[in-house]
Chain A
Amino acid sequence: MNDSTPLIVLIAILGGALRVSTPFMFVALGECLTEKSGRVNLGLEGTLVLGAMTAYAVSYHSGSPWLGVLAAGLAGAALGGIHGFICKLPKVNDVAVGIAMMLFGTGIAFFFGKAYIQPTAPRLGSISLGDWTGNAQLATALQINPLMIVGILVAILMWWAFANTRWGLIVRMSGDSAPSAMAMGVSVDLVRFLATTAGGFLAGVGGAFLSLYYPGSWNQGLSSGQGLMAVALVIFARWDPIRCVAAAFLFGATGAIGPALQSVGVTQGYYFFNAAPYILTLFIMIASAGSKKAGRDVPGELSIIK
């Protein structure tokens, strides 16, 4: 070990955070939008996987990865739309439907995706933000994907829209008090349907990142529960899009601790460090669940808290 080791580890963690956080970010934003409207969509894991497969397939056939991203979003929106539609039916529980949709999404992704495990599709490029530093490691770490920037912009847009647009207020209203919204003539079901659909779109785009950027290929083990963790991230971010982004980065960074340490030769506790993000989430959840603030930020209509 020498003096620069801590720095190398830090850079590696930063790089890891930037690399793996994007899908978390998109799924969390999608879930955030859905939950703000008063509905839970636990099916986003399935949406993520279907998005990854669709993106890869479309990119392969069309040669355009961005078309793949769009197709992933549309596939996600379709799944979200189905979820939103089923939940409109009377006496349907959105949590149960979500779990069914998760299985459905992964199921059709694996079914149609068999043919795309072998071929190589064009992938998304990256933007180098770190070349000016003259430090090779930093430059690699700061190679980022345009989707990450899109995600951050979407988060800022959502944050702004929730406070400053009619649609934003209507979504929050439907999520917090359906009777009030109905008294104002808002069709709560429609708002939730649209929010779930849009949320599905975002989660689908998150999937495109997995297959078209990092890890950057399509196979059945592509997602390791990112879609589910993102649901937890939303709670931890207390339904704030900006905090969702921060949470995604934090999650990505803790996930990168293990590999980063390994890269400088620290192999002890490798598995422990791999579990770090989950342990962290658990602790943060315990800490924030007890705070009164969290209780106040929960949309009042969520079926899990009713």
Chain B
Amino acid sequence: MSNALSAAPSLVSTPRAMSLETIGMTKTFGSFTALDNVSLKVDAGSFHALLGENGAGKSTLVKSIMGYYHADKGSLLLDGHEAQVRNPRDARDLGLGMVYQHFTLVPCLTGAENLVISRADAPAVIDWKKEKKALDAFLDRMPFRAPLDKPVSSLAAGEKQKLEILKLLYLDQRLLILDEPTSVLTPQEADEILGLLKGMTDRGDISVVIITHKFREVTAFADALSVLRRGKRVGGGLVKDMTTDEMARLMIGDTPIRQRALRQENTTGPVTLELAGLMADGDEGASVLNAVNLKIHSGEIVGIAGVSGNGQSQLVEVLSGQRPLRDGRIFVRDKPFEPTRDAYFRLKIFGLPEEPLKNATVARMTVAENLAFRNFDRPPNAKFGWWLSPGPMRTKARELIARYRVKTQSPESAIGDLSGGNVQRAVLARELSGEVDVLIVANPCFGLDFASVAEIRSQIMEQRNKGAAVLLVSEDLDEILELADRVAVMSEGTIAFVSPIGETDRATIGKHMAGHE
């Protein structure tokens, strides 16, 4: 395994980075044109950002390049030569590597198994002693690590993402395509990883195409960019020649951006949600929640900050009834709360968990059905609680799709076919469209374009202003600082620090996140 980072002299003399060009790429899904004649050029050794709002076709474009989809029209040039990529394996053999928007590590395999099996020359019989040694040597050269001995299913999102990127570097690919690689990373982790990749592009070791919604990352790391809108390439150029306003305008055209909702003062009411000594076990059986105590008043947003993997996801799972409590109680308006469907309905508890495609939808059911999950068995969607009437369901779905601007071909499309950001919107539409007393949200803006971020944050704020008690778990500290009334830091499965947002600052929060007093 020769790696780009190893100091083999031959690598230094011949730049290995690959250039890529698409000519007139077109891809349709049924009658819907997801990509319309897209031509785009990525120079060898450049760090190219691909921008566009949710559903613009960014993922479709890179998947077509990788041979995951077959473009209807158009060709692909690698290093100036036309290349035939029929499937992802061809792409890998040509030196193209991609981190997909949804994780592609195999959950039941360990990190090490995932890395080794992804290699084209994976040996028929794997000598684990030798491979482990090689992997350790490889990891020593990397600026970040990921656990290799645990099954991927037990890793936190950030760890998985690092492992995905490590995999490409391990495979020694010459052009990396990253589809929103930083959504699940903390800003520090993101800077670290992108900085490393940037260094490699500067040295001419690799070229990078990155899809991102974060302008900060574009201006800090990318050299060039392209913007897609509704499947067409509408502009691009060198990053240093453009302002973020210009980029934003290219992305959304003339659509107005929703104004940020203002925080109304003195809305705070009585305690609505109380978590008393919550204890729960993780998948491995070890305790992951160690007495979480927290009170949330109505009309208040409590933001939970913390380094990923400190129990935040499990806390959300407990609150959404996906994980049993070992001990402790949840009270809603001073009454003990059991996570039943009926209780959620009665007490008006809603939520948006992380990885909504997995945790809040059924990918193969239609958008309309998914939108009706909360109320499909209640009038007007159902008579007597069991006779469903699709008519009202569809009408309601149409209305929600329009109101929340979910981009879907029709209410009858499978929700798994929507773009990442639109799945998120569909779930929010379902959860926020009614009256809300308690709202539990985890990383609500993960993967959304800036217009949607503004919109969703303002919706959360609006619910707070209307008197909902909001628990906001977020790995994005800026989001917490913007939205929360109080911040709580979670560390090692317990709340390590709570403070009104006005009485603390980034540094203090950061210190508690790192586990220092």
A interface residues with partner B (beta carbon < 8 Å): 163-167, 169-170, 172-173, 175-177, 179-186, 292, 296-297, 299-300
- Of the candidates A167, A184, A297, which one forms a contact with B88 in the assembled complex, judged by CB atoms under 8 Å apart? A184
A179 touches B108 (CB 8 A): no
Given A173-B109, A185-B90, A292-B283, check contact A180 B126 (CB 8 Å). no
Using Cβ atoms and an 8 Å threshold, which residues of chain B touch A163?
A: 113
- Of the candidates A175, A184, A300, which one forms a contact with B117 in the assembled complex, judged by CB atoms under 8 Å apart? A184
Using Cβ atoms and an 8 Å threshold, which residues of chain A touch B108?
A: 172, 175-177, 297, 299-300
| Smallest CB gap from A186: residue in B | B89
B106 touches A180 (CB 8 A): yes
A164 touches B89 (CB 8 A): no
Chain B, interface residues (CB within 8 Å), range:
20 to 34
Given A170-B117, A184-B88, A292-B283, check contact A165 B107 (CB 8 Å). no
Segment at the interface with A among B97-105, B342-350, B504-512: B97-105
CB distance from A199 to the nearest CB of B (A): 19
Using Cβ atoms and an 8 Å threshold, which residues of chain B touch A180?
A: 103-106
Given contacts A166-B123, A166-B126, A297-B108, 11 further A-B contacts (CB under 8 A): A164-B128, A165-B125, A166-B117, A169-B109, A169-B113, A173-B106, A175-B108, A176-B109, A180-B106, A183-B68, A300-B107
Q: Which 6 A-B pairs have the closest CB atoms?
A: A185-B89, A176-B108, A169-B117, A180-B104, A183-B104, A173-B106
- Bound complex: CA of A129 vs CA of B355, how far in Å? 57
A296 touches B106 (CB 8 A): no
- Of the candidates A165, A172, A297, which one forms a contact with B126 in the assembled complex, judged by CB atoms under 8 Å apart? A165
Given A184-B89, A185-B88, check contact A173 B285 (CB 8 Å). no
A177 touches B283 (CB 8 A): no
- Bound complex: CA of A165 vs CA of B126, how far in Å? 5
A184 touches B128 (CB 8 A): no
CB distance from A163 to the nearest CB of B (A): 8
CB distance from A290 to the nearest CB of B (A): 11
- Bound complex: CA of A296 vs CA of B100, how far in Å? 24
CB distance from B317 to the nearest CB of A (A): 12
Given A180-B105, A182-B88, check contact A173 B100 (CB 8 Å). no
Using Cβ atoms and an 8 Å threshold, which residues of chain B touch A176?
A: 106-109
- Bound complex: CA of A236 vs CA of B14, how far in Å? 56
8 A Cβ contacts from B92-122 to A? 92, 98, 100, 102-109, 113, 116-118, 122
A165 touches B124 (CB 8 A): yes
Q: B37 at the A/B interface (Cβ < 8 Å)?
A: no
Residues of A contacting B: mostly: helix
Using Cβ atoms and an 8 Å threshold, which residues of chain A touch B105?
A: 180
- Bound complex: CA of A169 vs CA of B107, how far in Å? 12
Residues of B contacting A: mostly: loop
- Bound complex: CA of A153 vs CA of B125, how far in Å? 18
Using Cβ atoms and an 8 Å threshold, which residues of chain B touch A181?
A: 106
- Of the candidates A175, A179, A185, A292, which one forms a contact with B92 in the assembled complex, judged by CB atoms under 8 Å apart? A185
Using Cβ atoms and an 8 Å threshold, which residues of chain A touch B267?
A: none
Using Cβ atoms and an 8 Å threshold, which residues of chain A touch B122?
A: 166, 169
In the complex, the number of residue pairs spanning A and B with C-beta atoms less than 8 Å apart equals 71
Using Cβ atoms and an 8 Å threshold, which residues of chain B touch A184?
A: 88-89, 92, 104, 117-118
- Bound complex: CA of A172 vs CA of B89, how far in Å? 18
CB distance from A41 to the nearest CB of B (A): 20
8 A Cβ contacts from B341-376 to A? none
CB distance from B355 to the nearest CB of A (A): 14
CB distance from B154 to the nearest CB of A (A): 8
- Bound complex: CA of A181 vs CA of B118, how far in Å? 9
| Smallest CB gap from A306: residue in B | B364
| Smallest CB gap from B113: residue in A | A169
- Bound complex: CA of A173 vs CA of B104, how far in Å? 10
- The 28 listed contacts between A and B (C-beta, < 8 Å) are A163-B113, A165-B126, A166-B122, A166-B125, A166-B126, A169-B109, A172-B106, A173-B106, A176-B108, A176-B109, A177-B104, A177-B107, A179-B104, A180-B104, A181-B106, A182-B68, A182-B88, A183-B68, A183-B100, A184-B88, A184-B89, A184-B92, A184-B117, A184-B118, A185-B88, A185-B90, A292-B283, A299-B108
- Bound complex: CA of A80 vs CA of B373, how far in Å? 39
- Bound complex: CA of A179 vs CA of B63, how far in Å? 13
- Bound complex: CA of A179 vs CA of B106, how far in Å? 9
Using Cβ atoms and an 8 Å threshold, which residues of chain B touch A296?
A: 151, 153, 283
- Bound complex: CA of A299 vs CA of B90, how far in Å? 27
- Bound complex: CA of A36 vs CA of B346, how far in Å? 42
Q: B458 at the A/B interface (Cβ < 8 Å)?
A: no
| Smallest CB gap from B323: residue in A | A292
A173 touches B117 (CB 8 A): yes
- Of the candidates B116, B118, B124, B128, which one forms a contact with A167 in the assembled complex, judged by CB atoms under 8 Å apart? B124
Q: B459 at the A/B interface (Cβ < 8 Å)?
A: no
| Smallest CB gap from A178: residue in B | B106
Using Cβ atoms and an 8 Å threshold, which residues of chain B touch A165?
A: 124-126
Q: Which of A163, A179, A184 has the most CB of B within 10 A?
A: A184
8 A Cβ contacts from B54-104 to A? 68, 87-90, 92, 98, 100, 102-104
Using Cβ atoms and an 8 Å threshold, which residues of chain B touch A175?
A: 108
CB distance from B101 to the nearest CB of A (A): 11
- Bound complex: CA of A165 vs CA of B104, how far in Å? 20
